[in-house]
Amino acid sequence: MENNTAIEDLSSSSKTTSKNNTIKGTLFALIAGTLWGLSGICAQFLFQQRNLTPEWVVCVRLISSGVILLSIAYIKEKNEIFKVFKSKKHTKDLVLFGILGMFGVQYSYFVAIKYSNAATATVIQYLGPAIILIYQSLKNKSLPSFIELFALILSLLGVFVLVTHMDINSLVISEKALFWAITAAFCLAYYTVKPGNLLNRFSNICVTGWGMLIGGVAFSFIKPIFDISGTFDIYTIAVIIIVIIFGTIIPFSIYVISTKLIGPTKTSLFSTVEPVSSAVFSIFLLNLAFGFMDFLGTAMIIAMVIILSINKKEKSSDCA
């Protein structure tokens, strides 16, 4: 009798822990997406109201965040964080990830914001999963499933609605903004796929920290970090700190925790709050006019991400 009671207590405790982890993981994913959305708004403020350059902001963000993340990793892992450089292949992959992935996605995204706005740039960047789908189909020499094809068409229609407002004779955003936003989507796809082998061998925080530091330092040779332009005041400094801490360090850290608590599929689903939060912040903080067509295009692209994420989960279940 006592054994049965003990088993029931353990089962109840396990269910409570599982429920708490689900709630905590969900909240962390939502907060991470919201903070990333806020980061885009902060960048827009720095570019359009303080005349800072995307090059300088990206270098400061990556180098500062990289140093902080690696410091945290060193406290946890000690000299293990340097093991990634013992292999030429891993070193090469890390350098490519840092420059083409980490720096590439940050820079192209920030330039897209400069030429348009954070909400539009964020939404178009979310074409990344569709690009990954096309890449995987070409790599595996297989056609996408009906659901995947539907999601792909939906995302393309979403971009069309977002940038034309259904008027094929004109663009709502500039050609430069569209080019850099789509470039950001390709870089996001590369950023997502490239570090796969590294993440299987080393911790997320270590790979991301080195990627940020390498990307920031590499580009600082082209655009020195001490080559500063723009208007600096207490608001500029405060917003830069927000971008580094609340737009990079905190969301990354809690996103990683979320994937461990509820899995990468659910985490990626809940983090799609990013373009929504970016739009909301743009409306209330920057007085951006966000009309019906903007909301429709945004909804179509977010729907694509959700469909692909759910389809991926179902595929994984079928394989199991």
- Cα separation, 167 vs 98, whole angstroms: 39
State the Cα–Cα distance between residues 57 and 2, nearest whole angstrom: 63
| pLDDT average, residue stretch 184-211 | 85
What backbone torsions phi and psi does residue 195 show, to the nearest 5 degrees? -80, 15
Which range (27-41, 167-181, 216-230, 258-272) has the least confidence? 258-272
Residue whose structure tokens are 């663009």: 171
| Lookup: tokens for 124 | 């178009």
Residue bearing the bigger pLDDT, 255 or 98: 98
Question: pLDDT-based confidence at 319, cuts 50/70/90?
Answer: very low
Q: How confident is the model at residue 58 (pLDDT cuts 50, 70, 90)?
A: very high
CA–CA dist 173, 77 (Å, integer): 46
Residue type, position 139, single letter: K
pLDDT band, very low/low/confident/very high, at 10 (cuts 50, 70, 90): very low
Across the range 60-75, mean pLDDT stands at: 93
Yes or no: say if 174 and 232 are a contact pair by the CB < 8 Å rule.
no
CA distance 180 to 193: 20
Extended strands (E) in the chain = none
> Residue 132: which pLDDT band, with cuts at 50, 70 and 90?
confident
What is the model's pLDDT at position 260? 76
pLDDT at 314: 53
